[in-house]
Structures are given as C-alpha cells and as structure tokens.
Amino acid sequence: MIIKPTESELEILNILWSKGPSTVREVHEVLEQNKEAGYTTTLKLMQIMHDKTLLTRDASSKSHVYTANVSQQKTQGQYIKRMIDNVFNGSASQLVIQALGNHKTNKKELDEIKKYLAEMEKKTK
C-alpha cells in the first residue's frame, strides 16, 4: 500500500509519532506553535486521515484519542524513494551528499552515519 500523506497530514503524523496517541486538542496546540490554524481545521484533517486509515482512534471518551496508523519508518522510506526518483535521478548518493552538504551536521550525526556505513560494508562482504 502506498502511503502518500499530504503536507498537512504529514505535520500531524509527525506530532503523533513524537508525542504518541493524542487528542485533536493536543495536536492542535502543537500545530499552533508554528502556524495559525482554526481548531476545526485540525479536527477535520484528522477526521479525513481517519477515513483514509492513516490514523486510528479511540472514541470511548468524549475527546477521541488518535494514533498514527502508519509507521514513521515506512513513511520516511516512501518519501525518500519518491524523492530519489523524482528529484535526484535515482541516485541515492547524490541525495546523501546534498543532505550532508546543505545541512549542518554535527559530529554525533556523522558518527552515526559512519557506523552505519561500516555495518553495510560488513554485510556486503
């Protein structure tokens, strides 16, 4: 199944991924920190996401509690794939190098990457 949340949906997924199951109100309060938005806008979005099964919800209490129903990892993977295909001519290394170049990457992050590369090497042998 192809997961293709819109940008707004992605913002909401991100909040749910990091905070865990939340009510509309809770999600909305986080969203508001970055941009203006009406409460019912957030509500509607999350209802639509529920219809699309991007979210599940527990309606047992008055304020429904929503949970992301797609994994962060899988969603990330599909985004990357789309991006590599559409924007990077299929070259993952081009993406990686751009990412490292444009973004200020700290030592800890670099170490993680090197560690990961080393593991890949091992498996290849």
Partner DNA sequence: TTGTATTTACGAAAATATTCGTAGGTTTGC
Partner DNA sequence: GCAAACCTACGAATATTTTCGTAAATACAA
Contact set with DNA (CB under 7 A): 4, 6-9, 23-25, 36-41, 43-45, 47-48, 59, 61-64
Beta bridge partners of 23: 65
Q: Measured on CA atoms in the order 1, 113, 16, 88, is the torsion positive or negative?
A: negative
**Does 79 sit near a copy of itself (CB under 8 A)?**
yes
Picked from a copy of itself, DNA, none, the partner binding residue 83 (CB below 5 to 8 A depending on kind) is a copy of itself
Provide DSSP, 50-71: HHTTSEEEE-SSSS-EEEE-S-
Both tokens assigned to 49: 């996401």
Residue whose CB is less far from DNA, 40 or 105: 40
Select from 5-13, 25-33, 42-50, 53-61 the region that touches a copy of itself (CB under 8 A): 5-13
